[in-house]
Amino acid sequence: MALRLSISDTGFAQAFDALVNARREADADVSADVRAIIQDVRDQGDDAIARLTSKFDRHDLEQTGWRVDKAESAAALEDLEASLRVALELAALRIRDYHEGQLPDNRDYIDDAGVRIGARWNAVERAGIYIPGGRAAYPSSVLMNAIPAKAAGVERIIMVTPAPGGYINPLVLAAAELAGVDEIWRIGGAQAVAALAYGTEKIRSVDVITGPGNAWVAEAKRQVFGVVGIDMVAGPSEIVVVADGKNDPDWIAADLLSQAEHDPTSQSILFTDSSKFAEQVAVKIDEQLAILATSETATTSWKDNGAIIVVDRFEQALPLIDRLAAEHLELAVDDPDALFRKIRHAGSVFLGRLTPEAVGDYVAGPNHVLPTGRRARFSSGLSVTDFMKRTSFIRCDEQALANIGPAAVALAEAEGLPAHAASIAKRLGRR
C-alpha cells in the first residue's frame, strides 16, 4: 500500500525526510560494468559493438544491418495510419514552435569604457540522441530530442536505439523521419553511448548526447561527460499532484498512475487538503490498477514509492514540494498561478484541473526531457541551448585599453603573474 501521511501526524517530519531521501535508482552498482563496456568500445570499436549487441539485444548487426536505410524511415512515415500521422505532425509542429522561440540572441555592444564586448551563439556540429527501445516505443522522445537539435541548427543528428532481435518500431522510425534525423543506428545500451562519445570505424563521434535510458545508459552518459556534453543524468520518473476536493478523484488517480506505469521505480505523490478526497483517490487508484494494461509495473511503483499526503492548507505543502523538486508538478486547484508564483523547484508545472501532465509528454510543446531525483533544484529541462555553445568576444582600441588596462595590470601583479601584466603593460607603453 502506498504511504499515507498527514502533516498533523506525530513523526511527520521524519517520515517525509525518508520519502525525500529514498533511493529509487537500481540497487546494482553499474558503474564498474559501464566502465568496462566503454573501455571495450574504445579498444575494440565496431567489434565490441557487434559483440555486445549480440549479447544484449540478440541480433547480428551484419545480418540485420547496422544502420537503418533512409528509405526505411521514409516508408515508415508514409505508411503511418492517417490519424496517427496527424497526431505526430501536430506534436512536431508544437514542439518545433516552442523550441524555436528559445533561440538565444547574440550580443554585440560598446560599453562605457569604449570596449566592444558581446557573445555569439553557435550550434554544435553533431548531436547524438539516445531513444529507448526496450519496454516500449517512444516516438515522442524522438521528437523531443531531435527537434530542439534541429531548431538549434545542428548539422547532423545521429540517433541510436536498441533493436531487440533487430526490430525497431516503425512509429519510432516515422518520428525520426519527421524530425529530420540524419542517421539511425540499431545499437543501444552503454555501448551506444560510448560509440557516440568516442567514435568507431563506422560511427562518427558527436559533440553532445541527449535522451533517456536505463541505469546503464545514464551511468554511461555520466562517465563520458567532459568528452562530450550531455543533457542530464536522468533517473526514475516523478509526479507531484496538488489537488483539492473539487477535483474528480478518477482524474487525479489517472494522473498519478500516468507516471507509475513508466517503471517500478517511478514515484507519484498527491498533496491534498481533504482527507475525504485522499480516500476517494486511493479507491480510484485501486480500481484503475485492476484494469490497467500496465498494472504490474504501476502497482509496484505505487505500492513501493507512491504517497498521499494530507495538509491543512496548501501553503503548508509549498516547502515540502520544493524539497521534492519533482520532475512534474500538477497544480489542480482554483488558483494555480497563486501557488506557482511561490514554487521554486520543479522540472515542469501543469496549471489547472484541465492540464494533465500527460499532455506535456506529447503535444503541449515544452520539452518532456526533465530533471529527476531532485535535480530541478539546479537544472532545467532539455532546450535548444543544450545543443549550442556561446562564444564571448572582446575588442579594445587604444583608448579602451587605456581605460581598463591599468586595473588588469594591478590584478595580474597581485596574482603573481608577471607575463599577464606585461602583455597589457607593453601595449600601454609602460614597459
With beta carbons less than 8 A apart as the criterion, state whether 54 and 358 touch. no
pLDDT at residue 137, as a whole number:
81
CA distance 98 to 151: 10
**Which among 147, 163, 143, 194 has a CA at the least distance from the CA of 37?**
194
pLDDT of residue 73: 97
**DSSP 8-state assignment for residue 5:** E
Q: Give CA–CA dist 356/314, Å, rounded.
A: 19
Contact between 193 and 221 under an 8 Å Cβ cutoff? The reply is yes
As a whole number of angstroms, the distance between CA 260 and CA 292 comes to: 11
The pLDDT score that the predictor gives to residue 24 is 67
Superfamily of domain 31-104+123-230: Nitrogenase molybdenum iron protein domain (3.40.50.1980)
3-class secondary structure, 185 = strand
Q: What is the spatial distance between Cα 17 and Cα 19, in angstroms, rounded to a whole number?
A: 5
What's the pLDDT score for residue 134?
58
Residue with cell 503541449: 364
* Dihedral class, residue 416 (left if φ above 0, else alpha if ψ from -120 to 50, else beta): left
- Identity of residue 131: I
In this prediction, residue 136 carries a pLDDT of: 66
Fold matches, 3-25+235-364 and 31-104+123-230: yes
Q: 3-25+235-364: which CATH number, 3.50.50.60, 3.40.630.30, 3.40.50.1980, 3.40.50.300?
A: 3.40.50.1980
167 — phi, psi (to 5°)?
-95, 135
User: Could you give the residue numbers annotated as active site?
Assistant: 327-328
What are the percentages of helix, strand and coil residues in the chain, rounded to 5? 50, 15, 35
Between CA 317 and CA 7 the distance in angstroms is: 9
Other CB atoms within a 10 A radius of the CB of residue 200 amount to: 21
Please list the pLDDT of the chain residue by residue as tens digits (431 residues): 799 999 999 999 999 999 999 876 655 689 999 999 999 999 999 999 999 999 999 999 999 999 999 999 999 999 999 999 999 999 999 999 999 999 999 999 999 999 999 999 999 999 999 999 855 689 999 999 999 999 999 999 999 999 999 999 999 999 999 999 999 999 999 999 999 999 999 999 999 999 999 899 999 999 999 999 999 998 899 999 999 999 999 999 999 999 999 999 999 999 999 999 999 999 999 999 999 999 999 999 999 999 999 999 999 999 999 999 999 999 999 999 999 999 999 999 999 999 999 999 999 999 999 999 999 999 999 999 999 999 999 999 999 999 999 999 999 999 999 999 999 999 998 66
For the chain, domain boundaries: 3-25+235-364, 31-104+123-230, 396-425
The amino acid occupying position 302 is: W
pTM of the model: 0.94
